[in-house]
Amino acid sequence: MHPRFFLLPLSLVLAFGTAAVSPTAQTTAPASSMSATANAVAAVQAFLATLNPAQRAKANIDLTETTRVVWSNLPTGIAMQVGAKERNGVKFGDMTPPQEKAALAVLAAVLSPDGFQKVMAIVDADQALEVESAPKRAATAAIRFGRAEYYLGILGTPSTSTPWMIQFGGHHLAVNVTLAGNANVLAPTHTGAQPATYTMAGRTIRPLGDENDKAFALVNALTPEQQKEAILGATVMNLVLGPGTDGKMIAPEGVRAAAFTPAQRTMLLGLVREWVDILGAEAATAKMKEVEAGLADTYFAWAGPTTNGRGAYFRIQGPTVLIEYAPQGQGANNTDHIHTIYRDPTNDYAAKVTRR
């Protein structure tokens, strides 16, 4: 993966001092013999200890089939307009600097370093959108963007044995990690970006750039016959199994990986890893073994141009993985607003474990 960078919220910069703005130095969990779940439990307990009683009541709620599906990729304000709850947890805009630091430590404990950077790059993209759009909005506008509008929620009792969840999300981001013993399950999780490319501290940031580039490389590595199978006849403008479609299924389409060369299979697995590797190494390794075991029955579908730099939709669908990447808007140049979804049709919300 290419290096990713993010700018710490101003409150954290003030709390740490200007010499302490390295994201890796400040947010990567220390090496430990503890399991990933145990590290997450410790980080969550430390975070909850920083909250006052009212905040704690919002941050830590029961884990039920009703509460776990409360997540969204929409900006703050849209769901509220129709009377729906948008997200669980406490938002960063209502946290003190020490609380924000502890909240980020929760994410660092459950995500890989690259996954953490990807998530923070998405948050920073939304902050860039807030800066750009704020002058154009009325002061009383209900719809809001930016870092302050991201929420951290803990569903259930943090435990090294019984199931519970960590939810972190805001506009274009819904990270849902179910922890059940040693199993850490990322599905379903939504990643997106707007803008998809921006500049920070003199660097060009593309939160989902590797996903885009690896997909175009793969579709162009297919033979003409494989491309005919992979490319869908219809235009696809949005996620088919995005937020609000839990439990739904679609028939596989595209070219089957059973017909891929070893090099093409390696490219497909590398593309899948862009989502799977958001989690820590242990959970990601276990998941990739599942994906590889079902690779022969995995399909790669494409809609749109095959020239990188243009807007194109793709889908990866196998026995234990469903990934979609969908540029938003009209036309072939709709590359600056991206939605993606990562699911496991057999194990969303760790269904395999929680049904036992």
Residues in the chain: 356
Neighbours of 157 (CB within 10 A): 13
Q: Which of 18-22, 92-96, 212-216, 333-337 comes out lowest in average pLDDT?
A: 18-22
Contact 88, 70 (CB under 8 A): yes
CA atoms of 345 and 356, how far apart (whole Å): 17
- Mean pLDDT over all residues of the chain? 88
Max intra-chain CA distance, the chain: 62
Q: What sign for the dihedral angle of Cα 242, 243, 244, 245?
A: positive
pLDDT (tens digit, 9 = 90+) per residue, 230-269?
Answer: 999 888 889 999 999 999 999 999 999 999 999 999 999 9
354 vs 245, which has greater pLDDT?
A: 245
- Using CA atoms, how far apart are residues 351 and 356, in angstroms rounded to an integer? 9
Residue 52: pLDDT above 60?
yes
Look at residue 186 in the predicted model and tell me its pLDDT: 98
Q: What are phi and psi of 144, to 5 degrees?
A: -135, 150
Contact assessment for residue 224 and residue 257, using Cβ atoms and an 8 Å cutoff:
no
CA distances from 334 to 19, 131, 170, 238 (A): 39, 21, 22, 12
CB 150 within 8 A of CB 91: yes
Q: What is the pLDDT of residue 187?
A: 98
The pLDDT score that the predictor gives to residue 12 is 38
Q: Show Cβ contacts of residue 351 under 8 Å, excluding neighbours closer than 6 positions.
A: none
Determine how many CB atoms are found less than 10 A away from the CB of residue 97. Answer: 15
pLDDT of 84:
59
Q: Integer distance in angstroms from the first to the last C-alpha of the chain?
A: 36
Per-residue model confidence (pLDDT) at position 25: 31
Task: Please give the share of the chain, as a percent, with pLDDT higher than 90.
Answer: 79
Exposure of 148 in the CB half-sphere (CA atoms within 13 A) = 10
pLDDT band at 356 (very low <50, low <70, confident <90, very high): low
Angle at CA of residue 153, ends 150 and 159, nearest 5°:
145
Region for 238 from its dihedrals, namely left if φ exceeds 0, alpha if ψ lies in -120 to 50, beta otherwise = beta
Q: Which of 288, 284, 149, 305 is closest to 227 using CA atoms?
A: 305
How far apart are the C-alpha atoms of 285 and 301, rounded to whole Å? 25
With CA atoms as reference, report the closest residue to 166 among 9, 39, 275. 39
Q: Are 212 and 241 in contact (CB under 8 A)?
A: no
What pLDDT score was predicted for residue 273? Answer: 98
* Contact call for residues 194 and 125 (beta carbons, < 8 A): yes
List the single range of 24-38, 57-71, 224-238, 342-356 with lowest mean pLDDT: 24-38
Strands 189-193 and 90-91: unpaired
The pLDDT of residue 20 is above 90:
no
pLDDT at residue 7, as a whole number: 45
What is each CA distance from 15 to 21, 51, 96, 250, in whole angstroms? Answer: 10, 17, 10, 48
The pLDDT value given to residue 353: 84
Peptide bond into 195 cis (omega under 30): yes
pTM value > 0.75: yes
Matching residue, tokens 């389409």: 253
